[in-house]
């Protein structure tokens, strides 16, 4: 059997590492993505993990490419299983071309060596000689570095930085582990068993490498956020952690509230006092915040909510991904009041839209949602530094006069917003219906006028709606509609099909819906919508506002994100 894997005809390779929680899979991802980027490779990483601290089966996929890559794939080119259950966990993705450097004891029960290209690498024995099984993950890092021909000193230097707070023995043992793995990887490469020839780009070394949680956090900082209140809940917690870690550098107060209700009310209070506050949560946590959201609607308080989606109902799959909360964000809160919902499709979007959310919330005095999901939050890749030239913190607070009216009736519906202590006026707000000065009223005619005032805001918000992206061009026969984090998987699937009659229509703002939506859809002969939920929630929203029912749907709701192959296969069947 020919066991040589040549990547000469490929511009990217998919590496999967799998093992139990507690085995350091995340550490391996951290090391490899950064080391590969420093070596000049484009990298993309995403992970799937069970809701447990120890045990189970977790995996991380790292794609290494000669050009920017942004999507997960089904195929596995190199699999490193670190425990006995690993091969079984990802077995459906293994092909005869998959390279599996592992130890026989780990794969014996599950792996038919004829169905892949297996090579015996005694990770446990090597780790034991260094100091224990805990070093197996760093040996795996060394193996990959050796296969890719990365300079060993670069790996050693990164290990020294990463473990700088540890004892000298720990640092040295990790260096020994990396060296042992590196030698094994080089031996496989030198013996012509595995040949990897992916082009490097010098500019990649200077690009940034970050994940979705960091992108949202940086966007909040760029938007002038100076207060975050949250109760930890996956997959939203990374945003709270990032802002807490950087609080002193950027003047942010990070408050881990006692519960989600308190977190929401704290944020509303911060905006009332003149701050720019963010709430970060997931579906179950946001369910507790809904009364507070309605309070913000009545107070006409600016509010930014980062809602990181995961599968429900109830606790659902707490560490998995789904796009099933668009209706929750759209209809949450009793009564009628306007809102805006952004849905980033990339890390760049996560930064720009979160920054934009603060300005929109401040200008129109409405709640603004940044709707992400576990897949986007945990995804990382290298990208050029964000363009800050257009970033501007727009504040719309007015200095109050003696006759100030917080809820002044006017044509735009946007009353002047003052804050306590800035000017002579009294800033009165109340959860009951109120008059122009903010005092409680049961004047029913005034009630109608106040509701009408609040609902006039969307007329002016229309000027701010982001036009959906049509890619690669507007001359299409078939149209694929998607929103949020499915952007890059759908885009790569269309590229893979190599057809010039298909275009992508991607929405990064899902509400208010762009007024040209019906025109985009009517132009296509065939339309397909792709969503990570069971009922096509965005498709229903489109039908509600346009009357157009997109009957061809590619839906996934098992807790995992789409792969490029799944979408490509689905489109091929529906559009042939």
CA count, 13 A, side-chain hemisphere, 260: 21
Report the 10 Å Cβ neighbour count for 54.
8
What secondary structure does DSSP assign to 436-448, as a single string? Answer: TTS-B---HHHHH
- The pLDDT-based confidence of 60 (bands split at 50, 70, 90) is very high
What secondary structure does DSSP assign to 358-423, as a single string? Answer: HHHHHHHT-EEEEEEEHHHHH-EEEEPPP--TT------B--B-TT--TT---SSS---B--TTSB
What mean pLDDT comes out for the span 182-205? Answer: 87
Domain definitions of the chain by residue range = 5-201, 209-383, 397-464, 465-575
- The pLDDT-based confidence of 7 (bands split at 50, 70, 90) is very low
User: Per the structure block, which two tokens stand in for 400?
Assistant: 């109050």
Whether the bond into 409 is cis, omega within 30 of 0: no
pLDDT at residue 190 is higher than 90:
no
What mean pLDDT comes out for the span 135-150? Answer: 94
| 536 DSSP assignment | -
At residue 1, the pLDDT reads 35
Task: Output the CA angle 176-83-30, nearest 5 degrees.
Answer: 55
The per-residue pLDDT for range 61-89, each reduced to its tens digit, is 999 999 999 999 999 999 999 988 899 89
At residue 113, the pLDDT reads 58
- The pLDDT-based confidence of 9 (bands split at 50, 70, 90) is very low
CATH code at 465-575: 3.40.50.920
What mean pLDDT comes out for the span 178-185? Answer: 95
What mean pLDDT comes out for the span 130-148? Answer: 93
At residue 550, the pLDDT reads 98
What mean pLDDT comes out for the span 324-337? Answer: 98
What mean pLDDT comes out for the span 439-457? Answer: 98
Q: What is the mean pLDDT of the chain?
A: 94
Establish whether domains 209-383 and 465-575 are of one fold: yes
What mean pLDDT comes out for the span 391-404? Answer: 97
Q: pLDDT: is 57 or 527 the higher one?
A: 527
The CA-to-CA distance between both ends of the chain, in Å, stands at 37
pLDDT at residue 10 is higher than 80:
no
pLDDT at residue 114 is higher than 80:
no
What mean pLDDT comes out for the span 330-346? Answer: 98
The per-residue pLDDT for range 360-379, each reduced to its tens digit, is 999 999 999 999 999 999 99
The per-residue pLDDT for range 239-261, each reduced to its tens digit, is 999 999 999 999 999 999 999 99
CATH code at 5-201: 3.40.920.10
514's CB contacts (< 8 A; 6+ apart) are 465, 466, 467, 468, 507
CATH code at 209-383: 3.40.50.970
Q: pLDDT: is 297 or 103 the higher one?
A: 297
At residue 283, the pLDDT reads 97
* Alpha-carbon separation of residue 435 from 361, 407, 424, 445 (angstroms): 22, 7, 19, 11
Which of 45-54, 547-556, 557-566 is predicted least confidently? 45-54
pLDDT at residue 507 is higher than 90:
yes
| 467 DSSP assignment | P
At residue 21, the pLDDT reads 85
At residue 4, the pLDDT reads 46
- The pLDDT-based confidence of 8 (bands split at 50, 70, 90) is very low
Alpha helical stretches, state H, 257-368? 260-272, 283-299, 326-331, 347-364
Rounded to whole angstroms, the Cα distance separating 552 from 541 reads: 15
At residue 156, the pLDDT reads 96
Q: pLDDT: is 85 or 421 the higher one?
A: 421
What mean pLDDT comes out for the span 114-131? Answer: 88
């Amino acid at each position: 059997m020919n066991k040589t894997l040549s990547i000469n005809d490929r511009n990217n390779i998919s590496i999967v590492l799998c093992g139990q929680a507690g085995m350091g899979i995340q550490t391996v991802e951290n090391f490899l993505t950064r080391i590969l980027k420093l070596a000049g490779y484009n990298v993309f990483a995403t992970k799937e993990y069970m809701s447990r601290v120890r045990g189970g089966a977790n995996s991380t996929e790292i794609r290494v490419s000669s050009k920017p890559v942004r999507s997960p794939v089904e195929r596995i080119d190199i699999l490193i299983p670190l425990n006995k259950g690993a091969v079984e966990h990802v077995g459906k993705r293994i092909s005869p071309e998959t390279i599996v450097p592992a130890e026989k004891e780990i794969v014996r029960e599950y792996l038919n060596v004829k169905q892949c290209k297996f090579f015996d690498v005694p990770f446990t024995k090597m780790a034991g000689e260094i100091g224990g099984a805990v070093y197996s993950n760093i040996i795996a890092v060394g193996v990959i570095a050796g296969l890719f021909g990365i300079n060993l000193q670069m790996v050693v230097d990164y290990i020294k930085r990463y473990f700088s707070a540890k004892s000298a023995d720990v640092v040295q043992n990790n260096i020994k582990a990396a060296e042992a793995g590196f030698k094994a990887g080089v031996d496989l490469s030198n013996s012509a068993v595995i040949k990897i020839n992916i082009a490097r780009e010098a500019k990649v070394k200077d690009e940034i490498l970050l994940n979705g949680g960091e992108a949202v956090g940086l966007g909040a900082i760029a938007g002038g956020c100076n207060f975050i209140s949250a109760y930890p809940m996956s997959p939203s917690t990374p945003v709270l952690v990032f802002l807490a870690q950087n609080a002193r550098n950027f003047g942010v107060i990070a408050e881990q509230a006692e519960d989600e209700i308190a977190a929401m009310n704290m944020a509303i209070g911060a905006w009332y006092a003149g701050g720019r506050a963010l709430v970060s949560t997931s579906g179950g946590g946001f369910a507790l915040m809904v009364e507070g959201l309605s309070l913000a609607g009545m107070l006409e308080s600016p509010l930014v909510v980062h809602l990181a989606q995961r599968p429900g109902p109830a606790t659902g799959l707490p560490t998995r991904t789904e796009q099933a909360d668009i209706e929750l964000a759209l209809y949450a809160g009793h009564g009628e009041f306007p809102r805006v919902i952004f849905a980033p499709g990339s890390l760049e979007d996560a930064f720009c839209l979160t920054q934009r959310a603060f300005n929109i919330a401040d200008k129109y005095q409405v709640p603004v949602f940044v709707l992400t999901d576990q897949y986007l939050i945990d995804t990382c890749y290298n990208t050029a530094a964000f363009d800050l030239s257009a970033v501007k913190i727009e504040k719309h607070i007015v200095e109050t006069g003696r006759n100030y009216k917080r809820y002044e009736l006017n044509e735009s519906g946007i009353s002047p917003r003052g804050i306590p202590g800035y000017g002579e006026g009294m800033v009165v707000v109340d959860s009951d219906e109120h008059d122009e000065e903010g005092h409680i009223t049961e004047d029913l005619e005034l009630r109608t006028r106040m509701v009408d005032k609040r609902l006039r805001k969307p007329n002016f918000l229309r000027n701010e709606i982001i036009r959906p992206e049509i890619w690669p061009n507007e001359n299409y026969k078939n149209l694929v509609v998607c929103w949020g984090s499915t952007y890059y998987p759908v885009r790569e699937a269309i590229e893979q099909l190599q057809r010039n009659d298909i275009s992508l229509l991607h929405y990064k703002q899902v509400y208010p819906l762009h007024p040209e939506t019906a025109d985009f859809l009517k132009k296509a002969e065939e339309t397909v919508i792709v969503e990570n939920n069971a009922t096509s929630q965005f498709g229903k929203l489109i039908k509600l506002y346009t009357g157009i029912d997109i009957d061809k749907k590619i839906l996934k709701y098992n807790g995992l994100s789409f792969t490029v192959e799944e979408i490509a296969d689905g489109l091929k069947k529906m559009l042939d």
